[in-house]
Amino acid sequence: MTSPSDLRYATSHEWARLEGDIATVGISDHAQAELTDVVFVELPAMGRSVDVGDPTAVVESVKAASDIYAPLSGEVVEVNPDVEADPSLVNTDPYGKGWIFKLKIKDASQFENLLDVAAYETHTS
């Protein structure tokens, strides 16, 4: 699966798409492939403040449970109830319907510190 060019990545395999001061966050195609079948997603609490690197959500697969870390600092302003109801969306559409949460970010410059697609692909190869 080709990574959309508007995404930036944390080395811990979360992606972020920035629209104004709202960042949509999910896990990369590489990460979901490593996890295999996702069977449960624990969403963060609405209104929760997080800093870069804070464990914010959890995905459980048939192989393991993994923390999902905040790639940016901000406040959780939306969660995706669809992945709670159908965790397989994280596998089948990681860059679309499989997003996990949205943050109202504190500092837009943090986005520039994340890896672009080429750097992330180098990181995972």
More confident residue, 2 or 5: 5
Position 16 scores a pLDDT of 97
**CATH architecture observed for domain 7-112:** Beta Barrel (2.40)
- For all residues of the chain together, what is the average pLDDT? 95
Answer yes or no: are the C-beta atoms of 28 and 94 closer than 8 Å.
Answer: yes
Give the chain's length: 125
Render pLDDT for 63-116 as a digit per residue (tens, 0 to 9). 899 999 999 999 999 999 999 999 999 999 999 999 999 999 999 999 999 999
The whole-number pLDDT of residue 5 equals 80
Task: Give residues with Cβ within 8 angstroms of 2, minimum separation 6.
Answer: none
- Where are the chain's structural domains? 7-112
pTM to 2 decimal places: 0.95
Cα–Cα dist 78/35, whole Å:
24
